[in-house]
Chain A
Amino acid sequence: DAGVIQSPRHEVTEMGQEVTLRCKPISGHDYLFWYRQTMMRGLELLIYFNNNVPIDDSGMPEDRFSAKMPNASFSTLKIQPSEPRDSAVYFCASSGGQGRDDTQYFGPGTRLTVL
């Protein structure tokens, strides 16, 4: 398996622009997690899905952030409008769920820079 795939790997945009980050989980995994990593706040869980349904979005910073999972093999995290404080590395992770393999496997991340 290719592992969790994220695109783009790097994104540089200007304040106010819309940013869309993409994730393809490991095939067969039914949990998908979006994290944000910064020096100040460490690794924060933003939202997670089970069987394509959002379960907990309490980590989403504000209404500018939205996430979707239209099918089992694809998820997006959108920021609109983007702000400089959104600059961070965004990770997607997937797992097989409790009772099976609940190890979370992380993708390589998307480094977002908002100017």
Chain B
Amino acid sequence: GENVEQHPSTLSVQEGDSAVIKCTYSDSASNYFPWYKQELGKGPQLIIDIRSNVGEKKDQRIAVTLNKTAKHFSLHITETQPEDSAVYFCAATFRTDKLIFGTGTRLQVFP
């Protein structure tokens, strides 16, 4: 069945430290893995994505890694800032057009 597991559910870090959020997926045919950031009172916003033909992608302080064999992918945020505080969701495609979302990680960055 379709399933994306996300850990941890909450994460607290000191400003400047790194944060890592991990996800696993069940459908070996999944080929697109986006990460969304949701701030309070707003809709989820895409921050980075990766496709199955790539193992790693980086955009400034944010990076995503993908291990297709293990069906794992992770979000890495370096040099965290208070404005990084939000809920982060991973997702994976299921049957091409459908996205299945993880349960979310609430990240708090303390100054």
Residues of chain A lying within 8 A (CB to CB) of residue B111? none
Complex-state Cα separation, A19 to B64, whole angstroms: 40
Name B's interface SS: strand
Task: Verify B97–A108 contact, CB threshold 8 A.
Answer: no
Task: Verify A98–B97 contact, CB threshold 8 A.
Answer: yes
| Residue B8 at the chain A interface, CB threshold 8 Å | no
Residues of chain A lying within 8 A (CB to CB) of residue B54? none
Binary per-residue interface labels of chain B (16-59) against chain A in the complex, 1 for a CB within 8 Å, 0 otherwise = 00000000000000001010100000111110010000000000
| Residue A54 at the chain B interface, CB threshold 8 Å | no
Task: Verify B43–A45 contact, CB threshold 8 A.
Answer: no
Stretch at the interface among A62-70, A71-79, A80-88, A99-107: A99-107
| Residue A56 at the chain B interface, CB threshold 8 Å | yes
Question: How distant is A63 from chain B, measured CB to nearest CB, in Å?
Answer: 22
Complex-state Cα separation, A83 to B34, whole angstroms: 33
Complex-state Cα separation, A109 to B101, whole angstroms: 17
| Residue B78 at the chain A interface, CB threshold 8 Å | no
Task: Verify B34–A103 contact, CB threshold 8 A.
Answer: yes
Complex-state Cα separation, A33 to B97, whole angstroms: 10
Task: Verify B104–A43 contact, CB threshold 8 A.
Answer: yes
| Chain B residues touching A, range | 20 to 34
Known: A31-B97, A48-B98, A50-B97. A109 touches B46 (CB 8 A): no
Residues of chain A lying within 8 A (CB to CB) of residue B96? 98
Known: A50-B97, A98-B97. A103 touches B44 (CB 8 A): no
Give the A-binding residues of B (Cβ under 8 A): 32, 34, 36, 42-46, 49, 89, 93, 96-104
Given contacts A43-B101, A45-B98, A106-B44, 16 further A-B contacts (CB under 8 A): A31-B97, A33-B99, A43-B89, A45-B100, A48-B98, A55-B97, A91-B43, A93-B43, A97-B97, A98-B96, A102-B97, A103-B46, A104-B99, A106-B43, A108-B42, A108-B43
Give the B-binding residues of A (Cβ under 8 A): 4, 31, 33, 42-43, 45, 48, 50, 55-56, 91, 93, 97-98, 102-109
